[in-house]
Structure formats: structure tokens, C-alpha cells
Structure 1
Amino acid sequence: MVMRSKLNIRFAFHPFSRKQLQVLFWWQVPEYQDKFAIICDGSVRAGKTVVMSLSYVRWAMMQFNGRNFGMAGKTIGSLRRNVIRDLKRILISEHYHVKDNQSENMLTVSKNGHTNYFFLFGGTNEASQDLVQGITLAGFFFDEVALMPESFVAQATSRLSVEGSKAWFNCNPDSPYHWFKLQWIDELTKKKAIRIHFLMKDNPSLSKETLERYDSMYSGVFYRRYILGEWAMADGLVYDNFDREKMVVDIPKDTVWEKHWISIDYGTQNATVFKLWSLFKGTWYNNAEYYYSGREAGRQKTDEQYIDDLEDFFFDNRLERRDVQLIVDPSAASFKKALRNRGFAVVNANNNVLDGVRFMMTQMNQGKMKWTEASQHTIKEFGSYMWDKKAADRGEDAVVKEHDHCMDADRYFAMKVLYTKKRKNIKLRKEGI
């Protein structure tokens, strides 16, 4: 399939897969004429998002004129990055006229005498439902619906009062007790919905090397969800990919460290942890660890006493303040202030637990983070850091807040130093439409 935009840029795509073609034309199939919704779920990079948004706009433009439509992502920013940017270029290539009013977050799309209006929303939290109240819509597209609150989706679908209106959902799997799984996927007949389940093999544009790379990125529950496409429960050990034989190593001989960071998890009665991370030939090694628990020791230390210990930690590891930054939980306000007063360079940690766990597991699998025998408390925590079963039974992913101080410090390091937001190429990617 070849597309040419007004900028005379050619886009070459692999042929659509059978499932992609199903998505593109499902609403034209006679047996689905009475269906209200389509759900596309499954593994990452399976080629469902953009083809689904293209099908949504084609349906809207062929069935309606002068109507309002909704499109939502977790945030408007993520919707624009993940869907709208590529969708606009495809539509222009297909000779649609597209006007993007960014101040009002509205696309005006015209073709063959039809003009419709697509309003963009963010389903961020419970308050998001207020954004869609009062509007009458002929269709709604939900990108990553499993990340949205139930109240927002319920309010948005209730606005579909135009005759012939339909809802479009896509997502990666979550817990089997997630509200969307229970209320929509498990109730297809009741909801008058069809479901098309995607795996990466359903995206013919992915090379063998790309498939192998993604297969190596995830472990545990995230592997089951993002690679196998299963609605799987988060239970057992959080870092079940931790392999002591491979991930706990001796320091390379004749090591000349290229860079250092220290990540800190600060506690009052709970433990305070300093973790020294040092770079050598593309791998970060945790080669020193400080751990003190006021609860276990029976005596709590003050901020100044902890900073005295940090001074010793720098001296013992031959570190210079000017060369090392500290990554600290943003909630530890008083401690950060005391650190800065003593001349330390402090940056805030990213404390998103689930994103951090998922990302750190990927770094572990790819050999970018390793530990040493100095990481004794960390090694113990790898064997006792658990998913919260009670939360899982409610359809939520959460960790048990026990035996997590070294785990938190390591996650802070991974998200601050190794995590970089991938900039999506403005051109349409060849790895899946």
C-alpha cells in the first residue's frame, strides 16, 4: 500500500494482515451491522492502534455529516503522540482535508462533501468524566482504554445518542479482574461488541529481529500481558526475572569507572538506603550499598546523622561531590533541603512504581543493570518483594510496601538515568500501522 501526502512524501506499507483488514472494514460486514462496539486488545506492537483510528475516521466520514465525535487517550498529549500525529498524515495522504484546532483540541475533517468534528479528550482520572458531559456524539474512540477510569468511559459512552453511533476500544491487557475486562470483554454479547485479539505475529511488518528484541524486553506478568497478550494477574515475586548467577557479578578487573550516581530511599522508622551505581562499558554496577533501619536498630537517626554517614560513604568509595548527583524521592523534602545545605547535588526521583518496575525489569533482562556481593540487602529484597494479592483481586496492580527500600532506590536510578522517552519519528513507522 502506497500513500502520498500533499508534501509529496511517499509512504510504503506492508500489506495489511487479516486481523488489520477485519478492523478496517468490520462495520461494513453484514453480520456486524447491529454491533455497537469493537474491542482490539493484545500484545504490544501488534499493529492495532493506527489502523483502528483510520477505520474509525473512515466509518465516521462515510456514515455521517456534520456530527461530533470523540477520541480519548490517557492524556491529550499521549493521544496526540500515539494516534493523532500519524492519523493526520494518513488522512491527508488519502485526500481528506484536516484542520487541527489545537487550542480547542478539535479536528475538523472533510471529504466528498462531508465534514465532521473530532474532539480530543484525556481520560486521566475520575474528574475527567466532567469533560464529556453535555455533548452529543456519534462515535467515540478510546486509545489504551485500560488506563482510563471506569467513570470516564461510562460517561463518554452515554453521550453516544445519535442513531447508528458506535464505540471503539483498544488496549494492552491488564489484570483479569480489571473493570474493562469484566464489563466489556467478558460481556461481548450483552454489550453488542466484537473483539479482535492481536498478537505481534499479526503485524506482518515486524522483522524476526524486532520480534526477538521485544520478546527479551519483558518478564513475568508484563511478558504475559505485553508479549503473550494475556489478561494476567500480578502475583508472586515482583522481580521474578532476577537471576543471581547472571545478575550478581564480580567487579571487572582494572575497572576505570566512567560515571557515578547515587540513588537514595529515605525513611524515618523505615530503612534509609544509599546505592552507588557506577558505569563501565555500557553496564551500570551497584558496587556499594548503605542500609540503616531505625526500627531494626531501635534508634532513629536525624537527617544530619544520615548526611554524616553519606559523607563517609563518599570517602569510602573515593567519590567527589562535584562528580556525583543524588537521586532522592521527591517526597523527602526536609532531607533534600539538608543535603543541599551540605553542598550535595540533588535531583528528584521518578516515583511511578509500575512504570519503574516494568522498565527496570527490561534493563535487567538486557544486562544494563548488575549487582555485586556488596548489594547484600538488595539481594535479600529481590527474594521477598511481592505483588499485593488483595489489590490483584480488586483488578489493581500494586506492590506490598515491605522489603522494598533497596528496590525503590534501584527503581529511582533506572528511571532517572536509563529511562529516556523515545521520540516518535514524524514519518509513519514501518513497524506497524
Structure 2
Amino acid sequence: MKTRSKFEFTPFSRKQLQVLSWWANPDTQDCEAIICDGSVRAGKTVVMSLSFVIWSMINFNGQQFGMAGKTIGSFRRNVLRPLRNMLESEGYAIHDSRSDNMLTISKNGHTNYYYIFGGKDEASQDLVQGVTLAGFFFDEAALMPQSFVNQATARCSVDGSKFWFNCNPEGPYHWFKLEWIDQLERHKAIRIHFMMEDNPSLTQSTIDRYNRMYSGVFYKRFIMGLWVLADGVVYDNFDPDTMVVDPPRDAVWEENWIGIDYGTQNATTYKLWSLFKGIWYNRGEYYYSGRETGKQKTDEQYVDDLEDFYFDNGLTRSDTTLIVDPSAASFKRSLKNRGFKVVNANNDVLTGIRFMMTQMNAGIMKWTPVSVHTIKEFNSYIWDEKAAEHGIDAVVKEHDHCMDADRYFAMKRLYKKKKKHVRLIKEGF
């Protein structure tokens, strides 16, 4: 039988030690919930999940518990893998029934059962109905609907049950901020606010790198750990002095991709992105609005214009890939019928905006003087203030056609899901 190597724990910070011991501390042991919020990479998630299991195994035997992420898959990647590594290193026996999404954990004569849930939408509340639990751990609680959290907490009817929440901040009117963080006394809850500096495993260079990655509202939330509104211009990090450049002379382009935002009456735009020595340049822009011109084009006419766009920019069908919104079904058929390479765009708006801002800050995406409509949109693309007042991050669907096309490119070609569990293990908590 293969022997598992001992997990090397990084020394805990003061706040991490609070999380590990709050349920045994005479000053806080009567509290019924703990909330850990704050910046990214601050050491919240894994130390909370470890503390949750230790608490439950010491205080209960033969009971059922709940653990949830936004999806079961994200929970298994981001929480369960490092958690299992730590627990088995400390002598816990774990059986993972993937078909039932249930863990059976045993140590020192105690055995308990941990059901894994995904809280991604309103229908998720149905998953927890009917089960009796002795505690619940919510990873990224602010990404879950209130109905799921309400149903899950209602299932914890065993005497001594406690709730565990962690999250990164959203807007100040988000339901979790209003119902839990702003009402700690009513819920008999304690709150521990984390910053990256509370994670002793992070070097200063790593902290500096994360500081450079985010801008605007995302910097305030993910770095400063603040619950703030998304308002004003979306891409407030756009600097034309450094981000609009002349394309390199005599460049031999290594790759070509075109992000396409297709509209019937709204504008249709083609955004050509080409790679040279590690930097992507938007060296071609097509923009046509049927609403502004008073004459709408057919799918075939738009494809004709794309043929001209290819010719003008020295492109071939074999060296260029088109990224198109999945909803543009008829237009995609016309493109494929003409032999163009077409892939579906990832239309996750908020993740796409956040990711594109990091690429801009890193100098990976640059625009050129041909990006005329794009530069105008950077100054006109704004957050929806009315939606923000209801706790929802949304953009105003105006002046967004070039913005969408560029986001499609960034998310399809540049975005890669990071293996968070590997970084957690390497960098500690």
C-alpha cells in the first residue's frame, strides 16, 4: 500500500488561527456562524474547510453535514482536493462516493457524512430539501442565490449546528451583505475580514503581481476587500497613451483571430487580433450599424464584407479563426457555408470584463489607430447603476459592440482556467 506523504503546513497567521479555533474559543464558541470575506488569495477557503471538518469530527459522530460551492465541480477542484490532502496527512480516513457526492470521514472512533452541493441557481434549493444536517460550509457564498442558502441553513436542525461562509465582496446591496454581514448580531455570527497580507505564504512579489492585475471596481473588491458599487465607466483602466500604439513595422503575425459581435439592427463589428512577440494587436476593425445608416444588411452581405476584410488585412481562411456569439445561429451558418473557421464565444460578461482588464494591465492586449469605434466605446461603456442598487452587477447594453467582440477574443484565446488547488497547495493557505 502506497504511503501518503506528510502535508507540509505553512505557519498560520493570526486570523487563520482564529478561523481554526473560533468554535472552541470561550469568547466565540456560542456563536452560530462565521463569515470570512475579503481579498483574493488571502487564505480563507482552505483554512475554513479544514476548520469545519475538525470541528464537526470533534463534536459529532454519525451526523450529516453539507458543503457547497457554486458548482460541485468547482468545489471539488478548489476545496476538496487540498482539503483531502491535508486530512489524510493528519490520519483521517476518507471515502469519496462520487455517485452520491458524499464523503465519509472517520477518525478516533467518529464517523460523519458530508454531502457536496452546487448552489448555482434558484433550482439548487431543491437539492437540499428533506435532509437533516448538523452544519453547513458555503464556499463563495456571494455567488449563490439567497434561496439556496436559506434552504440549506434551514436543514441544519441538529443541536449545536453552525454555519460557515466565505466569499469575495460584491456590491453593497448584494443580498449576502444585507442579510448576513450587516446583521451579525441577529445571526449570532462573527466576521473575520481578510487581506492578502493575512496569508503568510504569499511573498511580496506575489502580492504585488495581484495588485497589478486588477483595476477599478475589481481592485476595490478583490484586492482591498471592499463591498463597493460597480459604477461609472467599465474599463476605467483604459489608457490611450499606453494602450493605443502603432503596429510593429514588418511584423510577421504569428496568429490571427477575429472577434465578431453580430447585430440585426444593432451594429455588427469584426475585430482582428494578431500576435507578435507575445503581444496581441487589434490591427483591423469593421463596424456597420443598420440603425445608424438606416439600411440593414443581410447575413450574406455581412459575409461579403468579411471577405473584403480578409483581403484588406492579408488574411486567409486557414490562418484565421472567427469567434462568434453562440446566439448568432443564422450568421454562423452563412460563415461556415463559405468555408470560414468558426468557434463559439464565451459570453460570461463579468468574468470576461475582469479578465480583459488583467490582460490590458499586463500589456498583452494593445489597440491601434484603426480601432476608432473601440476607442469611443471605451469612454462610453458604463455600469448599470439601477441594477447595482438591487445588488446586481450589470452593464448598460449600449456602446458595447466592439467591447463584446474584444471580450470574446480575450475569453476564447487568452483565458485559461487556473488550477487553483495546485496554487493553494504550493502557496499554503
Determine whether 1:113 maps to 2:105: no
Q: What is the SS of the residue equivalent to 2:164?
A: strand
Determine whether 1:222 maps to 2:248: no
Determine whether 1:321 maps to 2:317: yes
Structure 1 unpaired stretches of 5+: none
Determine whether 1:207 maps to 2:203: yes
Report the equivalent of 2:236: 240
Report the equivalent of 1:409: 405
| TM-score, scaled relative to structure 2 | 0.98
Report the equivalent of 1:231: 227
Alpha-carbon distance in 1 for matches of 2:377, 2:428? 39
Alpha-carbon distance in 1 for matches of 2:209, 2:84? 29
Report the equivalent of 2:339: 343
Q: What's the CA shift for 1:6?
A: 6.5
Q: What is the SS of the residue equivalent to 1:354?
A: helix
Contact 2:214/2:358 (<8 A) preserved: yes
Report the equivalent of 2:44: 48
AA partner of residue 41 (structure 2): R
Alpha-carbon distance in 1 for matches of 2:422, 2:170? 29
Report the equivalent of 1:94: 90
Report the equivalent of 2:73: 77
Deviations 1:119-140 (A, max 9, x none): 0000010010000001110000
Determine whether 1:126 maps to 2:122: yes
- Select the residue among 295, 305, 311 that pairs with 1:309: 305
Change in 2 beyond 3 A, CA 1:325/1:427: closer
| TM-score, scaled relative to structure 1 | 0.98
Deviations 1:296-321 (A, max 9, x none): 00000000000000000000011111
Contact 1:11/1:428 (<8 A) preserved: no
Alpha-carbon distance in 1 for matches of 2:423, 2:109? 28
Between 248-257 and 195-204, report the one with greater CA deviation.
Answer: 248-257
Instruction: Kindly report the root-mean-square deviation, in angstroms, between the aligned alpha carbons of the 2 structures.
Output: 1.2
AA partner of residue 138 (structure 1): A
Q: What's the CA shift for 1:32?
A: 1.5
Alpha-carbon distance in 1 for matches of 2:128, 2:421? 31
Q: What's the CA shift for 1:34?
A: 1.9
Q: What is the SS of the residue equivalent to 2:318?
A: helix
Q: What is the SS of the residue equivalent to 1:308?
A: helix
Contact 1:236/1:387 (<8 A) preserved: yes
Determine whether 1:171 maps to 2:167: yes
Alpha-carbon distance in 1 for matches of 2:5, 2:71? 30
AA partner of residue 209 (structure 1): S
Determine whether 1:31 maps to 2:27: yes
- Select the residue among 8, 14, 27 that pairs with 1:12: 8
Deviations 1:344-375 (A, max 9, x none): 11000000100000000000000010000000
Alignment of 1:380-399 (within 5 A): 380-399=376-395
Contact 1:13/1:430 (<8 A) preserved: no
AA partner of residue 185 (structure 2): T
Contact 2:169/2:221 (<8 A) preserved: yes
Report the equivalent of 2:426: 430
Q: What's the CA shift for 1:8?
A: 3.9
Report the equivalent of 2:292: 296
Deviations 1:312-332 (A, max 9, x none): 000001111111110000000
Q: What's the CA shift for 1:14?
A: 2.5
Q: What's the CA shift for 1:422?
A: 1.7
Change in 2 beyond 3 A, CA 1:150/1:6: farther
Contact 1:262/1:274 (<8 A) preserved: yes
Q: Identity across aligned pairs (percent)?
A: 72
